[in-house]
A and B are shown apart, each in its own frame.
Chain A
Amino acid sequence: MRKILLGTTAVVGAALLAPAAPAFAQEAPTVRIGGFFRAYYGYTQQSGRNSTTPYTLATNTSGASSNLQQQANGAVESTGGTARLSKNDFSTDGEVHVFVNGKTANGLTYGAVIEIAFNQQEGRNIVQQRASTGKTTASIDEWYAFIASPTWGQIRFGDEDGPVGGLMNSGVITNFGTGGIYGDRESFVTRQANTRTTTSPGGLGDNTKIIYLSPQFFGFDFGASFAFNYNEGEDTGCSSNASSGWCDTAYAFTGAANFGIAAAGPNQAVRRNEYQAALRWRGSLAGVGLSVTGGYVGAGAAKELSAITNAQRSVFQPLGVWQVGAQATAYGLTVGAQYEYGTSNFFWGNPMKGDRPMEQIFAGASYTVGPFTIGGNYQFQTVEGASRTSYSYNGAGNLVTTPNAAGAALMRRFGYGIGGNYRLAPGLDIVAEWSKFTVAERGRDLDPQRAGVQDRGTANVFILGTRLAF
């Protein structure tokens, strides 16, 4: 019998002589194209939704503080060059994702993710008369390579969110509509009074970092990441030998005190040596799925550099925010909440010295039944107001500090979103959502076109549309 078997299955016999490796089969890398496309109708009610200054060229060269209109009490309200903006708009957006996935014979999985986005330009950008980039110019959202093993976990290396900044958060319920208060509402809100949600986990940024994500053991997994600075992509950004904020390795640059708060494009942020760490537990108790995350993000800051005296001065606090969140899921119902506290401004930027800390709560719930999902979420934040300490140079090139104005107020940023979606087909959703976000700061005029001090700016956005994931 044995003889015959060996004779008739000689090929099998040969296979037996191959080295005895664990039973992992090597897989050649697959390359997959995925992504999403969505088209929305939006109806927006926004305070101060006017164009304010007649302009000839793009004016987006100064810091974000110029978007946050400031007007001293009693100053004459400007009246010229203003016109109402329409409340109705369509908005389209999409991304094309390339996924590479492979597996080695010893069980290691590896691959890369390249996400091509088309929303980098908020408006068409005219640099010179004919040198311009279109609004739908392609750019990279996230791209990274990864290697993962069941034994030691996963390493991601590239432009990607961190463990605290989106990967491992618990309690941030956004799985309905377009995401509620952290959804696509910004596609319809103009810059007036900056009534935008700016501190979602993902707002922390997908700057180039190296990320370690552990395996899950006894329900726990953890992650940590490190980034040298706030920049992404290939080059240093130092396109000239001037020490500028665009130069991502600059320890100090002139204008940091103005532009360093993630202002004129995120690439000028002063954030340096950013590290994140998060610990997550997931499990189920009596049929209720639970998830709890605690985490911390910290970072140093670049300094202000005097162009005349060459003196460097530290004007920013280090970034340092604690975060804790929890959520529970049962029978299609998910509820969750998250709390954050630490030194940060309203844009995940390093706050100026003397600024008060940021504090934020988030709560949300969603319910899924069959093809329907409905939900709502709420966010409330207190943060340093616009009357914070400011810095300017005198004629001799010395930095002069103007401390917080007397009676400097705290800024409150809060809002809610409610929405739902209907799954028409796998990957295809009809979504509807209503959201409202308010910025309020006592004594600060957030709408200079209206008489008197309007210390509150609000944007309501209604979205109806469709989203396809492929």
Chain B
Amino acid sequence: MAMKPVVLAVAFTLPLLAACGGNNQRLVNNDEYGDYRGSVARNRPRGADAGLVIFGVDKNREAREAAAAGTGLSVNAFLWRATLDTLSFMPLASADPFGGTIITDWYSPPGAGAERFRAQAYVLGRQLRSDGVRVQVFRQTLDRGQWLDSPVSTATNSELEDKVLARARELRSQSAAR
């Protein structure tokens, strides 16, 4: 019984220590713990997937179907869709879901007469994260019948990125609610 105080002390101090892990800390996944049925080791076979999902989103199936249909996006679907939505007010020149690039054509907003804009967006990966999208806006002004490159405020790029991220977040929460 002399063990008890030691174990109790450990039980209370270790969780506090755990909070100091910082970047070296992560949640241990459920499949990293052993599994027994009575005295018998229950080996988790390799290669088993999510199985039969009764309610909710079957992510394995989504991935499978996307792969089978050959339309598998190599970039995050929410970011991709959100970028398309956000830039849809401009005419699209090219969109490559595998490379993750969207390039618009020149567009002159009504009433802006002597200036036109063009945007390039890159969706950078499969994960929905805030640095997963880059937007670059180009601007030209009409000077004596010639379009000349003009500077764009750097804030414009990041504001557009913010809008893409906000849209992605909205799309994500819509799909989770389904």
Contacts and interface: CB of A to CB of B under 8 A. Distances in A.
Contacts of A151: 19, 25
A1 B109 contact: yes
Contact of B167 (A12, A25, A26, A30): A12
A6 to B, nearest CB: 9
A197 B39 contact: yes
Contact of B10 (A8, A216, A224): A224
A119 to B, nearest CB: 8
Contact of A33 (B26, B52, B57): B52
Interface string B37-59: 11111111111111111111110
Contacts of A179: 40-43
Main secondary structure of the interface of A (DSSP, over half): mixed
Contacts of A146: 30
A332 to B, nearest CB: 12
B14 to A, nearest CB: 5
B130 interface: yes
Given A203-B39, A423-B47, A467-B45, 15 more contacts: A1-B137, A12-B86, A23-B129, A25-B128, A30-B58, A152-B15, A152-B18, A154-B28, A179-B42, A216-B26, A218-B21, A221-B28, A224-B14, A320-B3, A469-B44
Interface of B: 1, 3-4, 7, 10-11, 14-15, 17-21, 24-28, 30, 33-58, 85-86, 88-89, 109, 112, 117, 128-130, 137, 139, 156, 159-160, 162-163, 166-167, 169-170, 172-173, 176-177
A298 B2 CA distance: 10
Given A161-B36, A174-B41, A28 B177 contact: yes
A255 interface: no
Contact of B14 (A148, A178, A206, A214): A214
Contacts of A215: 18, 21, 25-28
A26 B137 CA distance: 33
Contacts of B49: 426-427
A341 to B, nearest CB: 14
Given A30-B53, A141-B37, A224-B7, A216 B170 contact: no
Interface in A270-328: 275, 277, 296, 298, 300, 318, 320
Contacts of A423: 45-47
Interface string A190-214: 0000001111111100100000111
A16 B15 contact: no
A29 B55 contact: yes
Interface in A10-65: 11-13, 15-16, 23, 25-34, 36
A470 interface: yes
Given A275-B4, A277-B10, A467-B45, A32 B27 contact: no
B124 to A, nearest CB: 15
A9 to B, nearest CB: 6
10 contacts: A16-B162, A25-B128, A25-B172, A26-B173, A34-B51, A153-B18, A179-B40, A196-B39, A298-B4, A427-B49
B138 to A, nearest CB: 12
B15 A470 contact: no
Interface of A: 1-2, 4-5, 8-9, 11-13, 15-16, 23, 25-34, 36, 95, 109, 115, 117, 141-142, 146, 148-154, 161, 165-169, 172, 174-175, 178-179, 182-184, 186, 196-203, 206, 212-218, 221-222, 224, 275, 277, 296, 298, 300, 318, 320, 423, 425-429, 467, 469-470
A318 B36 CA distance: 24
A23 B18 CA distance: 23
